[in-house]
Structure 1
Amino acid sequence: MGAVTGTVLTSTANEVVKKTIGPVFDFLVKKYELLDIPRFKEHYLEYCEKNLEIKTLVSQDKSFHVDEIYIPIDIMQSGTQSRLEINNFTALDNDRAILIKGLAGQGKSTLLRKLLSNNAKRFSRLPVFYELKNYNGGTLELAISKSLSHFGVQISEYALKKLLSDSNVKIYLDAFDEVKPEFRIELIDEIKRFINSFKCHVVCTSRPSTEIDSLSEFRTFSVCELTEEQIFGIIKKTASDHEKCDELCGALKRSPLHTRKDSILKSPILVVLFCISYNLGEDIPNTLSQFYSNIFDTVFYRHDNIKGKVYRERHWNDNRRVYRELFDCLCFISLSDGLNGFSHEKLVNFVSISLKHINEEYSIAEKAVKELSSITNLIIEDGFNEYRFVHKSIQEFFAASFIMSLQHDRKISFYKKCFNDYSFYTTFHNSLFFLEELDYYNYHEYGFIPAITNFLCLSSQTTKIDNYAIPTSVKDVFLDDINLRAKFTIFKAGNKESYEIEKTNLTFDKSDSYPTLFSNIFKFSIDFIKIELSDKELMSIIRQNEKGLDNGWCNLSIRKILKFKNLPDTIALEALKLGIDVLTRNKFNNAIDKLNNRRDSLNSIDYFNF
């Protein structure tokens, strides 16, 4: 897309937003008597424009309006098999609270901005976009108010509460999974209170299997894998010209890893990486790790050739190894700190530490920051004095690459901590996804296999699982420490009486107290427990447990619920066994086979006798 065309489209789109948002804002200000808000409207419209502009991995030196680059993708409501396309006419207005879950690179943030654009342009809504990674405790209203003020939008917490009381307002909460772990439980309570206190609509995104799954207030959707039509649509938007587009589509059609119904390119980020890293005549990478590994070489060598073969002097010249080692270490330590974005000063500090690690002069950290940013384009400037990785999955893959390079004893310690410390695991679980492929033998021998052996109390780490019994200790944790919370409130008006029931989904709140496998298996198994409780049953069981109420809330374990309904424990334990079998059994047995085979080979073949 040419620069002039892009500018015209962006300007036109933003003018449409101004014309639609403006009248809604004027109406709400008058309705709630908020005329004292100084210059809110002007700055608010600028704020909306900024949130609708996106920098892409392909073109990081300019921003595009989301409508220019967006290709419709599908979401699916939990418990159904029906795909819903998010296109130019989608508002998602039927539910007051929606949770959209998706894996890394599935385009959740872009999808959220598209919904913001639709609601602003076509449905006369007043949208507010808030990145949850910035939440540091306190009320959500105050956090949003502070965030708006950073964009020059001055609005008091009181005035914001007035606006939130109107159903014309839509709040977009992006990336719950990026919230710092120490604030997540508080934020869960805040979001619950927020939804139940205001009439505004709330749309939130997150990666799967986070604490936000416990909130029953949300109607949950999941982002679907891309269809072939969507894949080719993204290629068309991404490719530099028609010839490159045709070549990319043709290469993909010829690949055995792509069929009309199933493709290795399951998410937008993978399609974009494919477009960037594929060169004419090359084979398409057949694993995710190959995609991500290729991307560094591609951006490193193509940077000086994309604009007329300009040569730029580098501190280490073309020594890609140094830059790669530096980048790997930077990704690891920033991920360890839970940061995907950071100030210039913080980035310089990270790079200084990384330079020390690779035995280079750390005093050149400032220069190294500039070179990493300009050469790789995998870290981009995002506003004044702010930097971020172009995508979190980039940071996670190269952090995994760093772990691969660790000396053996440190690597063993890393795997042990991941499988024994759930909080540590949550920081690196996506890096572990890559390590399972990149470092197969060490990952399984020192991490996964010992974890399963301990979880199931197996007698050997070298024997496959045929039959096993779930240990009583594991059953007890599953039945007693997974709870749903419920409360009821009775309202009286004269002789009439009504009630309101509130409840959460089943959650494992003690995940930090147990090894990682407990949480992973339990969260999966919970979805297969089918125990229905009517409102009357809930009120009855709460009354039976009145002595243990916490501010009116009753914690109901699986065991308590089964006992109340006179159902056997096996109903829940069958779901637990299903979780163990699906998530671990085949994976464990395959790893045992490979490790035993490698061990036998090393002991029996003369070539390895040294």
Structure 2
Amino acid sequence: MNEIETIFTQALIKSFIEKGVKSVSSLFETQMKKVNIIAKKKLENDDYRYFRDNYDLEISENEVLKHLKSNYEAAQTWSNEVNFSTAISSKKLNNIFVDIDLHLSPIKTRFDSEELTRTINSKNLIKDFTKNKIVYGGAGAGKTTLIKKIFKEVTQKNNDFSFPVVIRFRELNYENENYKKHGLFKILVDLIGINIAFPERFIEDFSSEYDYILKNTVINFFNDCEVLLIADGFDEIPDNSIKKRIERDFNSLALELKGSRFILTSRSNDFQLLLPNTNVYEICSLNDQQIKLLIGKWISSKKKSKELYDKIKSSPYYDTTMRPLTLSHLCAIYERKQTIPPKPRYIYDFVLNLLLEAWDQQRSIVRQSDYADFYIEKKKEFLGHLSFWLSFQLGKNVFDGDDIRKCYKKIHRSHNLPTSQAKKVVIELENHTGIFIQTGFNSFQFSHKSLQEFLTAKYLSALPRIPDIEVLNKLPNETAIMVCLSSNPNYYFQEFNQYFKHYNEQFWHVFFNRLIDEKPDFTENPGVLIFFINNMWENENSIFQKIFLVLLAQTNLKVSIKQFFEIYDLNGTYADYTSFIFKDLKIPIMERNYYPAKLHIDSETYKILKNYT
């Protein structure tokens, strides 16, 4: 006899179910008498007889057991594994699960983003079920993985529940008109295996009576059977009207459940009702130790696991790996290829696509927008434009409602969005993408600073000309990413050559260090080489030489050396430097991209350049 058969043939479980079936039968008998009296008054004789003959309850212990066993079996299969499109194969949940931390209240209820909230570790979440639980989390925060672990804990350890009942909202058939009209309780009645035969043509006339019997059938059965209802992915319900209906139904459950409880997962701004008798949590970002642990569970070799951790830790996209989804995908890629994409911009793009589209596509989830034509590419464009305004005009990483409204007012027309719906648009972006999130009562921010920088850089790189110096000076990190996104990064250095004195020292320090992290792909154009050679000689600041040597060693900058020697002639060799002159000085300086007539290279650097030719 397998585990499922064992559970559902236990005398205690059968006794609970028998009690639940009897309770529902008694409820229906009482309610049927009341409804028949109402129907007799409302309907003509023939209609009443038809109604009376076709209004009935079909319930049996065997049928309920069969449905509950089927639900349990499906949930057991679902909870055993975690699947990622980038992985070689699915992973056993127990092999890769890492206990995470949860805030004891949603972060959006904080006074501001600096306010500290108390936390609880996930292994303690199931120890106390005196109240219902809602677990919030952004896209890829690990809600479903956590709820799978909770299901396994409930089935494998002694607890207050006779058995779990699992709803996975993404898998329900929302074409079912009864689910649209009658919500959660109709879904649960079908799941339990109770058939309330209510004449279809009269449901509209007796909708309140029908809803009453659905609701009380579920509540009576649950209270008698002492079950844990596990409901995963409220945010994955595709229809907003059904969402609102089911949200209200959870409020009824919270008020009326006695021996049973529920645990529900949702993205933060999707489920909005404050329910009685319900504790609310929000999943924290992974901490450094949890990131190490998760990598170690994916990559069995300690040496390789450390190598991957070190690569991620030293990268500019480290903040994106604080989400289990992103980190797991990077681990899966590393497991398959023994490396991860070498350029950070590939990771930014991968994460952005994952959050905006790919993760939902892999799970066949469709999220309907309230705005026409606000599809994925438009959302990317809007997020890029918004991130630019917030970064440049406000210079902030955390914004309040007024900040967002100011920026939205400037850009909404460019994206065909309504004038006065800034907050609604932002909430949709949070619910659908998890890229822009509410972090306090009146504070918002991008989920990862590196994504805000990348989106800003994407916006800047798509402009028809190089942005103004004022913009670049204020956004050195974004400028470095923008240069790397370009098909011709060298072109920007021609601009830097021409307007060098307009950039401040702080800009160069931040820009250069981020440029090294971002690993640009240079062309054969010698503009970058000339920029560094000229400024190593003209400026006492050693950063130019240091960065130049690093770029030579770590990027393909060396491809431009040959062309440099083709346009400059040796003009003289001295004790500690070599002089070069532009070959054709008849070419006006504008036409030669503002390349200097003369350049001086110190002997050590000249030797390095010659070694590359």
Q: Normalising by structure 2, what TM-score? A: 0.48
TM-score, scaled relative to structure 1: 0.48
Kindly indicate whether structure 1 or structure 2 has the higher relative contact order, using CA contacts under 8 Å at least 6 residues apart.
Answer: 2
